[in-house]
Structure 1
Amino acid sequence: MKPEILSKETIKPSSPTPHSQRWYKLSVFDQMSYGVYIPIILFYTSNGGENPVDFSHRLSGLKKSLSETLTRYYPLAGRIGDGGSIECNDKGVDVFEARMDCHLQGFLNHPEFEALNLLAQGQIQCDNLDLSSTLIVQITFFDCGGMAIGVSMSHKVADISSMSAFLNDWATMARQSGKEEISAQFITSFFPPHDSLDIPEYVPRKINRVVRRFVFNASKLDALKTLATSHGVENPTRVQVVTALLYKCADAASRAVSDSPRASDLVQMVNLRRLVIPPLPDKSFGNLVWCFSISATEEGEVEFHDLVAQLKEGIAGFRLTYGISFSWYELSRLVSEFRKASASSFKRKGNMVRFTCTSWCRSPLYQVDFGWGKPVWISCTNVMWNTFILMDTRNGDGIEALVSLEEQNMNVFEHDEELLRFASLNPNAFEAP
C-alpha cells in the first residue's frame, strides 16, 4: 500500500511575524539535540457518510487553523540558519494531501512500519540544517473516510512535550475557529546557547534495523510490578518495569548473536520541566530533556528486578543532581559537562552496546481533537537504532513500546519467551484499548 500524493501547499502564518521577533535563538538543549525529524501520526475515524465535500471541508479547516496557530508558534514557519538561530521569515510549512486506497480499519489490523513510514514526511534527515524547514505535515484520507495526520517536527527545536503542546493548540484553534486565545511558552531565554559548545553532528548509521511494536495491557503491567516488588523493589512505576524488561531482553539478544560477551548500558531520557526549581510549565516549548544511564556487565545474565532497582536509583540521583535549586545557567553548564564526559567515556568503552529509552507516556497526544473526535491510535516512524519509545495505549492504562534493533538481534528479541509472557506483538491497533 502506498498513498497517492495529491497536492503540496505551503501554509504561512495568518499574521506576519514582527521584526522584533525575526531571530529565535536555539537554547543550549536545542543545540545538543540531533538534527532529525520526530514524526508522529494520529489516526481518526470518519463520522460516517462523508463525501468529497466533507473531505475538502476538513482539509480547509486544518490549513486555516494551522495558519492561525503558526502566528503563535512563529519559529516553526521560519528556517534554521547559521549560528544556532531560526530566521522567523514566515516562509511557512509544507502540507501534503494524500489518499490511501484502503480502509483505515484494515490498515490498522496489524500495522506495518514500512507502510506507516509513508504517512509522514519524517524520513527526511536534516543533512544540511541550513535553511531547513522545522515542520512538515501530511494529511492522508482513507477510502472509508478515516484519516491520518502525520506531523514531522525538527528535533533541533522541540521535544515530544513541545510537539504535544503544539498539536493540542492547533486542535484547539480548529475547534474554536480562533475564538480561544492560545500562546506558545518559549524556554530559550531561560537556557541561552553556548557559543563554545562542541556538538558532533548526528550521522545515521547504515544498519538494517527493524522496528516492532509490543503492547503491555494493564494486567500485565501489574504483574511486572508485582514481580519487581517481590524482590524488594518498592513502588516501581509502569515505565520502569517495562523499560527494565525491554532492556533485559535486548541485552540478552545482543549477547546471543555476539561472538563474545559485551557489556551494555541503557540511556534513560528524562523530562526536566517538573524537576527544575522553579518548575517550568508542561507546555514550555523547546528541548528540555536530559538523561541518566544504567548498565549490565559482561558477566552473566542481568536480573529484571536489579534493572528496575537501578532505574529507581538513577532517577533519584538525577533529581538530586539536576532537580535542586540550581540556576538555569548552572543547570545548562552541568548538562554540557555531562555530555562531554559521557562522550569521552563511551569512546573508551568502544565495545559496549548502548540502548536508549524515551517515554512519551502521560503526554496528552490522545487529547488532540480537531473537532471530529480524539485519535483512535497514535504512532511514530523513524525510530532510531537500539531505541525504545514508550507511549500510552488509547485508554491510558497500558503501554505500547516501539523497539528498533538490528535485524539479527530482533530475530532473537521478538521470540523471547519472558518478553512474550507480558507483551503482545503488534496486536490490532484499531481494537487495542
Structure 2
Amino acid sequence: MKPEIISRETIKPSSPTPHSQRWYKLSVFDQMSYGVYIPIILFYTSNGGDNPCNDKGVDFFEARMHCHLQGFLNHPEFEALNLLAQGQIQCNNLDLSSTLIVQITFFDCGGMAIGVSMSHKVADISSMSAFLNDWATMARQSGEAEISAQFITSFFPPHDSLDIPEYVPRKINRVVRRFVFNASKLDALKTLATSHGVENPTRVQVVTALLYKCADAASRAVSDSPRASDLVQMVNLRRLVIPPLPDKSFGNLVWCFSISATEEGEVEFHDLVAQLKEGIAGFRLTYGISFSWYELSRLVSEFRKASASSFKRKGNMVRFTCTSWCRSPLYQVDFGWGKPVWISCTNVMWNTFILMDTRSGDGIEALVSLEEQNMNVFEHDEELLRFASLNPNAFEAP
C-alpha cells in the first residue's frame, strides 16, 4: 500500500509577519534539542461530514489511500505508517526546512489520517499537543478561537557559547514494534514491584523498567561479551520549576536523568523501578527546588557536557532512551468530526521507547525501536509477553 499524493502546496500566512517578529530566537533548551521532526498521526473515522481543516503557514499535502481504515489498522505496520507523514527525519537547518508539515490522507471508507510533523527544534510533545488542540478548536469554531501558546525564550534565553553538534542519525537497520499494556496488566506490574518493597510506582515507571530490562537482556544475548547499559529518562520540566510554568508553555521544556544496569548478571525488574523512583526524586531536588530559571538553564548546560564526556569514557556502553507522552491530551484533538480512534507516530529513533496512552486512557502503548538482531530476541521475551500484547488491532484497542 502506498498513498497517492493528490496535491501539495505551501500555504502562506494570511497576512505578512511583522518585521520585529520575523525571527524567532530558540531558547537554550531548543538549542540543545535534536534537529528532527516529531511526527504524529491521528486517525479519524468517517462521520459523513465534509469539514475542511483550518491550515495556515504550513507545507500541506493531500493524499488518498486505496483501502479501508479498519483494515489498515488491523495490525498496523510501521513501514505503512511512515507513508502517512511527510516529515523527514532531519531538519537541522531551520532556514531550509519547514517548521510544520501536514499530510491528510483519505481512505476509501471516508476515514482519514492527519500526519503532523513539527520540528523538535521549536517544540516538545507537550507543545505539539497544545498546538493541535488549539488548531482543532479553531477549526470547530470557524476561526473564532486563538492559539494560546506562551513562548519560553524569555525565561530560558539562548546561550551564544553553546557548542551544539549537528544531529546525524546512525545508519542502523532498526526495527519498530508496538506493545500494548492494558489496565489489568499494569496493575499486575505495579503489584510485582510493590511486593519487593517499591512504594506506589507509577504505570510509566513499571512499563519503562520492564522494557529496559528486556532490551538490556536482548542486547546481552546478541553480544559476544556482556556490556553495561543505561537508560535516559526524559522529564517534563513545566511542573518542576519554581514557579511552575503553564502547561501551554511552547518550546522544549524537557530534561533527563539516567539509571543503569551493570555488566554482572541479570538486572532485577523491581530494582529498575526503584531506580526510576529515586531518579525522579533526585531530579526534583536538583532541578526543581530553589533554582531560578537562569540557574536551571546553566545547570542543564553543564549536565549535558558532563554526560557527553562520561558516555565517551564508557565507550562500549549501550544507551537506551525513554520518553513518555502519557497524559498529553492527544485523544482530545477534535477538528469537528469527533476524536481520534487511534494515534501513533513514526520515525522512532534507535534504542528508544515512546510511551503513550491507549484510547481509553488507562492502558499504555509502547513503541520500541531496536537494532534488528536485538528486536528478534526482544519481541519473543516471555516476561515481556506476559504483560504486553504485540501489535494488537488498533481499531479495536481500548
TM-score by length of 2: 0.97
Q: Which moved more, 1:193-202 or 1:422-431?
A: 193-202
- Structure 1 unaligned regions, length at least 5: 52-87
CA distance in 1: counterparts of 2:312 and 2:300, whole angstroms: 18
Shift of residue 11 of structure 1?
1.6
1:235 counterpart SS class: coil
CA distance in 2: counterparts of 1:173 and 1:49, whole angstroms: 17
| Percent identical residues | 98
- Structure 2 unaligned regions, length at least 5: none
CA distance in 2: counterparts of 1:131 and 1:424, whole angstroms: 41
Contact 2:179 2:389 in 1 (8 A): yes
Shift of residue 89 of structure 1?
20
Map of 1:205 onto structure 2? 170
Map of 1:224 onto structure 2? 189
Shift of residue 130 of structure 1?
3.3
The 3 A distance-change label for structure 1 pair 143 and 256 is same
Shift of residue 93 of structure 1?
1.3
Q: Deviations over 1:262-307 (max 9, x none)?
A: 0000000000000000100111100000000000000000000000
Q: Deviations over 1:76-129 (max 9, x none)?
A: xxxxxxxxxxxx999931100000000000000000000000000123422544
RMSD, matched Cα: 2.1
Q: Which moved more, 1:7-16 or 1:385-394?
A: 7-16
Contact 1:11 1:93 in 2 (8 A): yes
Q: Which moved more, 1:195-204 or 1:249-258?
A: 195-204
CA distance in 2: counterparts of 1:12 and 1:323, whole angstroms: 40
Shift of residue 19 of structure 1?
2.1
Q: Deviations over 1:173-209 (max 9, x none)?
A: 0000122343221111100000001111111000000
Contact 2:69 2:107 in 1 (8 A): yes
CA distance in 2: counterparts of 1:262 and 1:33, whole angstroms: 28
Q: How many residues align?
A: 397
Shift of residue 21 of structure 1?
1.3
Q: Deviations over 1:359-396 (max 9, x none)?
A: 00000000000000000000000000000000000010
CA distance in 2: counterparts of 1:378 and 1:176, whole angstroms: 23
Shift of residue 48 of structure 1?
4.1
The 3 A distance-change label for structure 1 pair 139 and 91 is closer
CA distance in 2: counterparts of 1:170 and 1:129, whole angstroms: 22
Shift of residue 50 of structure 1?
7.2
Contact 1:117 1:123 in 2 (8 A): no
Contact 2:99 2:118 in 1 (8 A): yes
Shift of residue 13 of structure 1?
2.2
Contact 1:17 1:90 in 2 (8 A): no
TM-score by length of 1: 0.89
Contact 1:122 1:381 in 2 (8 A): no
The 3 A distance-change label for structure 1 pair 109 and 89 is closer
Map of 2:18 onto structure 1? 18
Contact 2:134 2:145 in 1 (8 A): no
Q: Which moved more, 1:5-14 or 1:239-248?
A: 5-14
Contact 1:16 1:90 in 2 (8 A): no
